[in-house]
Amino acid sequence: MDVVEKPEENRFELALEGGTAVVAYRMDGNRLVLIHTEVPEQFSGQGVGSRLAKGVFELIRASGRKAVVRCPFLKAWVAKHPEYDDIVDG
Give tens-digit pLDDT for 26-64. Answer: 999 999 999 999 999 999 999 999 999 999 999 999 999
Burial of 86 (0-12, 13-18, 19+ CB in 10 A): exposed
Nearest CA to 34 out of 15, 16, 59 is that of 59
* b/e burial code for range 10-38 (CB count within 10 A of at least 16 → b): ebbbbebeeeebbbebeeeeebbbbbebb
User: Would you state the pLDDT for residue 1?
Assistant: 65
57-87 per-position pLDDT tens digit: 999 999 999 999 999 999 999 999 999 999 9
Domains of the chain: 3-87 (3.40.630.30)
Report the phi/psi class of residue 33: left, alpha or beta, with left for phi > 0 and alpha for psi in -120 to 50: beta
- pTM more than 0.85: yes
